Structure 1
């Protein structure tokens, strides 16, 4: 039998005689619950369709308690707060602005500190939404890694008026109202193989989080970072860059696309990747940049032998390609 959960859309396959909460936990879901006897009501859900047996009675509608309800046929439940394996609850926090400093290339490092007793929960590579004075929200990748606890880091490119206004707001108010975490391009689990990280501009923030997480977790496989900008002066200062250069399994590549003649590498990011890594079948690729850049990179790497499922990018969720 199957139980479909709304609003998440998750589908649970129930074994004969198994109760709903028991099945959900067996399948790796994090469910609201406190006890297992139906007295606390924490695990309550609304039966939308189907029939269940609860305390000897058959029910076909209304509230049920998932810890004691046994499906008799396929059912649909309205059950809020159920999280899939690796999924974290979205929370709103008012954070102190602990630092707002220019890094070069018109990029600012913004450091936030979450309230005591409310450490933010997120996976390396996820992003947050920050509230502006007009009530609108803007997305920024988290450059910090989860082991940093209450301390969050963002890299903000402040060339446009709206971004400069946000920096001014944070400096004036000293408080940032944020909501997190978002995004499925993360490292909830480390892969058993090499990583290729591709970042355009401040897409480096997401890769910064991934690298710092790998470093904290003792990741032993090779990690290849490709960081691209239009002009050499667009590269900005990264606090841990010198330390990264000493890591035996981390390979750092800076690539400039529009202005050749500098002492480093020129061209497009996917060209550099294909030049260096001739066997792409065993790598996992994480990429951050504009939709045009991401899809051009995907097409180039697939043509070079990568399976499309090996590449992850937030663009695939917020700007899906038609066809």
Structure 2
């Protein structure tokens, strides 16, 4: 039988006599339930369409217990809290400030510690929302990787008043409410092939998380990082940079776009990528920057032979191109 879950839209194909909860868990979904802890009713849902058999009774509407309900025909069930494969629950936690320091290039390192108990769950490459004193929320990529546990790291560019006020709020209160995780440009699973990471400015925070995750997991394929800024002084200091340089399969490139004449590379990020990697057919590309930068990079790499589906960026979700 086929069970459609609302509001997620997930569709479960159940086996004969199989309860809905068992089918969802067999298919890899994370479901609200606490049967083994003796807490009943946690798995309750609302039967909208269809018929189920539950504890010897036939039901065609109303509340059901998914741990008992066996579909007798195709059903529609309203069941909140079901997470799709690889999806993580969004949580709101109050974090303690443990560090707020300048990194150079007008960028500040913000380190937060989540409450003890359940450590925050996220994938490398995801982002958080920080709640300001006026209730507004601001998005920042996580520079930390999941193995850091309770410790979260952000890189904040402080050139505008709004960012300056956020830093002042953190320093004044030493606490802030954080919602997480968000974003589908992440490494829930490591790819079986080379990675190309393209970052503009503090887009480096997201790539920092990806690199640290690959480093922790012993990722065997080449990783090419291209970090671009307008001027050399816009590069900020990363504590792990020296250690990264000793990793054999990690290739680091800094690129300056507006001011040539320094000792490093000049030009646009996609130009550096195409100059170094002549065959883009087998790479997995992650990009972080402004919409104009990301879409310009996408177009250039597609023109150079990359399939558009090989590139991932949060921009595609929050600023889709017509």
Greater CA drift, 216-225 or 299-308: 299-308
Q: Distance in 2 between matches of 1:303 and 1:76?
A: 45
- Tell me the equivalent position of 1:111: 111
* Corresponding pairs, count: 322
Structure 1 unmatched ranges of 5 or more: none
Greater CA drift, 186-195 or 3-12: 3-12
Shift in Å at residue 316 of structure 1?
A: 1.0
Shift in Å at residue 119 of structure 1?
A: 1.4
Q: Distance in 2 between matches of 1:291 and 1:60?
A: 49
Shift in Å at residue 99 of structure 1?
A: 0.5
- Tell me the equivalent position of 1:318: 318
- Tell me the equivalent position of 1:102: 102
Shift in Å at residue 118 of structure 1?
A: 3.2
- Tell me the equivalent position of 1:8: 8
Q: Distance in 1 between matches of 2:74 and 2:160?
A: 53
Shift in Å at residue 174 of structure 1?
A: 0.5
Q: Distance in 1 between matches of 2:166 and 2:255?
A: 29
- Tell me the equivalent position of 2:225: 225
Q: Would the alpha carbon gap of residues 39 and 243 (structure 1) be closer, same or farther in structure 2, given more than 3 Å must change?
A: closer
Structure 2 unmatched ranges of 5 or more: none
Q: Distance in 2 between matches of 1:39 and 1:101?
A: 46
Q: Distance in 2 between matches of 1:149 and 1:49?
A: 42
Q: Does 1:292 align with 2:278?
A: no
Shift in Å at residue 34 of structure 1?
A: 2.3
- Tell me the equivalent position of 1:76: 76
- Tell me the equivalent position of 1:189: 189
Q: How does the TM-score come out when normalised to structure 1? A: 0.96
Secondary structure at the counterpart of residue 214 of structure 1? helix
- Tell me the equivalent position of 2:89: 89
Q: Distance in 2 between matches of 1:283 and 1:320?
A: 23
Secondary structure at the counterpart of residue 296 of structure 1? helix
What is the CA RMSD across the aligned residues, in angstroms?
Answer: 1.5
1:1-323 alignment, distance < 5 Å: 1-35=1-35, 40-322=40-322
Shift in Å at residue 39 of structure 1?
A: 7.7
Secondary structure at the counterpart of residue 24 of structure 1? helix
Q: Deviations over 1:159-213 (max 9, x none)?
A: 0100000001000111011011111111111111111101010000000000001
